[in-house]
Chains A and B, each alone.
Chain A
Amino acid sequence: MENLEEKYKHIKGWGIDADPKNDPTYPMKHRTNEEHKGYTWERPTQQPINIEVLHSIERPNVTAVFGTAAPPSGLSGVIRRYAFKHSENSYLHWLPLILADRVNVVEGIIEDFSTGKVPNIFAEKGYVAEWKHNKTGLLTRMAILAAVTTTALVLLTRKDDDDEYDYEY
C-alpha cells in the first residue's frame, strides 16, 4: 500500500486534521436536536427598539440585538416596508428590496446635494486606482464610450436630415 505520509512529507501539516470518522462532518457533526424544544431558549437581553426595525415574517419578533446602520426612510423605506409584508420565500420580498436599493441611490444623491455635498463620482468609483494601474484599459473604455456616443449623435442627426429630405417630396 502506498505510504501517503512519505509521499506528502514536503507539505507541512499534511494529514494532521484527517479523520476517517469525519462523516457526517460539519454542519451536522454537533447535532443536539436542541431546536426540537422550539423557540424556548433563554434569550439575551433585548436591545431597546427605539428605531424602526423591519423583521422577517418568518420569525415572531425582533432579534435580541440588531443593526442600526440605515433605518428605512423616504420612498425606498416605503418600498422596503411593503417587501417585509412578504416572506423570504416570495419574490414579492426580494424584488421590491432590489428596487428600493436603486431608489435609495437616487435618494442618496439628493441627500448629498441637499447638504451641500457634490458627490465626486470619479473618486467614489476608484478611478484613481484604475488610472494608476490600468491606464490603457481606462483610456480604451473612455474611447469606446466616446465613439459610441459620437456614433449615436451622428445617427440621430442623419435621421433628422432624412426626415427633412422625405418631407420635400
Chain B
Amino acid sequence: MFHITENKLMLAMNYRGPKRVRIDEKPIPEILHPQDAIVRVTRSCICGSDLHLYNGNVPDTRVGSTFGHEFTGIVEEIGSEVTKLKVGDHILVPFNISCGQCAFCKQELYGNCHEANSQATAVGGIFGYSHTAGGYNGGQAEYVRVPYANVGPTVIPEGMDPDDAVLLTDVVPTGYQAAEMAGIQKGDTVVIFGAGPIGIMAAKCSWLFGAGRVIVIDKEEYRLEFARNYSDCEAYNFEEMDDPVVWVKKNTDWMGADVCIDAVGAEAAGNVMQTITGRKLLIQAGSATALHWAINSVKKGGIVSIVGVYGPTDNLVPIGNVVNKGITIRANQASVKRLLPRLIEHVQNGVINPKGLITHRIPLEEVADGYRMFSNKLDNCIKPVLIPPKANV
C-alpha cells in the first residue's frame, strides 16, 4: 500500500485555460471535514461533460482546478465521523456529492443536495466540475478528497472489474436514468440524440424498460457503428438526412417518437446558428441543437428526457412547441446512489457490460493528450480512462 505520509505531493490534472490542461505536482488533499475520506485513485474517466469545462464553457471554471467526476479509488484516510468505510476499501464514488440529510437527499434526489454547493442553488455539488458545482477538485489525480464519505461512496463488490466499477459512477446511471425519466412503456419508439457514451448507454437501457424500437442519431460514423453493436439499436447519421425531424416523422409513420432523449447537451453540432451562438460566441448556454430536435421530433403528448449538460444561462429552444404539443420534459443529474443497487445487479448478471464502452486506457501523465483525443474524436475514441501511476490494480 502507498502511504500518504511518504510524499506530500501528487500528480494531478491542472486546468490552465480553454483547451489547455497539463499534469502538475499538487499537494495531496487533507481531511477538512469529519465526514471526509482521502482516496488514492485507481481509475478516472474523462467524461463528455468534462469537455464543456475543457472548452471554457462553464462559468467559474478557475485556473488551477483539477477535473474528474468519474473515479474509483482506495480509501487511505478517513475523518472522525466516517463509519461506513475503512482504510483499504476499494470504492466507487458517485459524481454527486450529497449529504444524505437535507430535504432533497431524503427524496433520493442525491444530485440536488442542498449542503454540497455554496456557489449555486441550481446545481448540486460535483467533483471536479468548476466552482459553479462547488469548487471541489476532482479525481483526475493520484489522490482526491471525498466529502460525505458515509453517503455516496460504495465499496466495489468482490469480483467486480474496476473498469466496470468506474463507469457506475456516472455513465451507466446517467444513461439508465435518461431511459427511466422517459417513462418508456412497452413497445415505445425511443429516439436518442447523441452516440457518445451516455447516448449509447441510454439506448442499451431503453430496452430494459421495454422499448419496441431504439434509434440513435449522431454524425460520427464510428460512434454510430459502435452504438449498433453495443446497444442492438438502429443508428443513423443526421448528415445524411435533409432534416432530422422530418426523418423521425417519416420513420414513425408521421406520428413522431414516443420518447426523445437529449444525450448531447451544450456541444451539439448540426445547426450553424446554434453552433455560432452557443459554442463560439457563448451568448447562449451551449448549442441546444439536440434538445431542439428532440422537442420537434417527439409525438404530441410525448416525453423528452434531458441528460445532456447545459450551462446555467439561457438556451434557444422551441418552448412554444412544448406547450402546443403537450410535451412532458423530465431532466436531472443522475441520482447515482439511488440507482447503484439495481445497476450493480445488472452488471453482475451480465445485462449491462460497462467496460465494453472503454476504448482508450491512458496514463494520467498524458491527460492533455487524452482530452485532445476525446474532444476531437481521434482514433475512434468513445470512452477514455486515465490510469494513475500508483493505481496498482
Residues on A close to B: CB < 8 A? 2, 4, 8, 10-20, 22-27, 30-32, 34-35, 37, 39, 41-45, 47-48, 53-56, 58-59, 61-70, 76, 80, 83-84, 88, 91, 94, 97-98, 100-102, 104-105, 107-109, 111-112, 119-121, 123-130, 132-134
Chain B residues with CB under 8 A of A109? 16
Chain A residues with CB under 8 A of B226? none
Number of A-B contacts (CB under 8 A): 250
Give the contacting residue for A63; candidates B59, B66, B115, B350; CB below 8 A: B115
A70 lies within 8 A of B35 (CB): no
Chain A residues with CB under 8 A of B42? none
B210 lies within 8 A of A4 (CB): yes
Given contacts A69-B64, A124-B21, contact A15 B186 (CB under 8 A): yes
Chain A residues with CB under 8 A of B99? 44, 64-65
A8 lies within 8 A of B207 (CB): yes
B18 lies within 8 A of A120 (CB): no
Return A65 CB to nearest CB of chain B, in Å.
Answer: 4
Q: Mark B85-124, 1 if CB is under 8 A from A, else 0.
A: 0000000000001010111101111001011111111100
Give the contacting residue for A125; candidates B108, B212, B352, B368; CB below 8 A: B368
- How far, in whole Å, are A101 and B65 apart by their CA atoms in the complex? 12
- How far, in whole Å, are A134 and B369 apart by their CA atoms in the complex? 12
Chain A residues with CB under 8 A of B17? 104-105, 108
- How far, in whole Å, are A76 and B312 apart by their CA atoms in the complex? 20
A11 lies within 8 A of B18 (CB): no
Q: Mark B142-179, 1 if CB is under 8 A from A, else 0.
A: 00000110000000000000000000000000000100
Return A20 CB to nearest CB of chain B, in Å.
Answer: 7
A108 lies within 8 A of B185 (CB): no
- How far, in whole Å, are A69 and B65 apart by their CA atoms in the complex? 6
- List, sorted by A's number, 10 A–B pairs whose CB atoms are closer than 8 Å: A22-B180, A25-B330, A26-B180, A31-B107, A45-B35, A69-B62, A97-B60, A101-B61, A129-B370, A132-B369
B115 lies within 8 A of A20 (CB): no
Chain A residues with CB under 8 A of B272? none
Given contacts A31-B107, A69-B137, A108-B64, contact A44 B101 (CB under 8 A): yes
Return B96 CB to nearest CB of chain A, in Å.
Answer: 13
Chain B residues with CB under 8 A of A65? 32-33, 35-36, 97, 99, 115-116, 125, 147-148
A63 lies within 8 A of B81 (CB): no
| CB-nearest residue of chain B to A58 | B121
Given contacts A56-B119, A65-B125, contact A108 B209 (CB under 8 A): no
B115 lies within 8 A of A27 (CB): no
Return A163 CB to nearest CB of chain B, in Å.
Answer: 34
B59 lies within 8 A of A98 (CB): yes
A45 lies within 8 A of B22 (CB): no
A88 lies within 8 A of B312 (CB): yes
| CB-nearest residue of chain A to B67 | A69
B33 lies within 8 A of A45 (CB): yes
B208 contacts A by Cβ under 8 Å: yes
Chain A residues with CB under 8 A of B219? none
Nearest 8 pairs of A and B residues by beta carbon: A126-B372, A67-B135, A67-B136, A18-B210, A105-B17, A129-B369, A13-B351, A70-B62
Known: A108-B64, A134-B378. 20 other contacts (CB 8 A): A12-B350, A13-B207, A22-B183, A26-B335, A27-B109, A30-B108, A41-B106, A45-B35, A54-B118, A54-B119, A56-B121, A67-B137, A69-B137, A70-B131, A76-B62, A104-B63, A105-B18, A108-B63, A119-B22, A126-B370
Chain A residues with CB under 8 A of B342? 17
- How far, in whole Å, are A15 and B207 apart by their CA atoms in the complex? 6
A130 lies within 8 A of B378 (CB): yes
Chain B residues with CB under 8 A of A27? 109, 112, 181, 330, 332, 335
A80 lies within 8 A of B114 (CB): no
- How far, in whole Å, are A148 and B342 apart by their CA atoms in the complex? 56
Given contacts A44-B35, A104-B63, contact A67 B207 (CB under 8 A): no
B346 contacts A by Cβ under 8 Å: yes
Return A19 CB to nearest CB of chain B, in Å.
Answer: 8
Give the contacting residue for B186; candidates A4, A56, A66, A127; CB below 8 A: A4
Chain B residues with CB under 8 A of A66? 117-118, 134-135
A62 lies within 8 A of B209 (CB): no
B240 contacts A by Cβ under 8 Å: no
B210 lies within 8 A of A15 (CB): yes
B282 contacts A by Cβ under 8 Å: yes
Return B36 CB to nearest CB of chain A, in Å.
Answer: 8
B8 contacts A by Cβ under 8 Å: no
Give the contacting residue for A4; candidates B16, B97, B212; CB below 8 A: B212
B270 contacts A by Cβ under 8 Å: no
- How far, in whole Å, are A102 and B311 apart by their CA atoms in the complex? 16
- How far, in whole Å, are A65 and B352 apart by their CA atoms in the complex? 34
Given contacts A12-B350, A105-B17, contact A124 B35 (CB under 8 A): no
Given contacts A32-B107, A55-B118, A105-B17, contact A127 B372 (CB under 8 A): yes
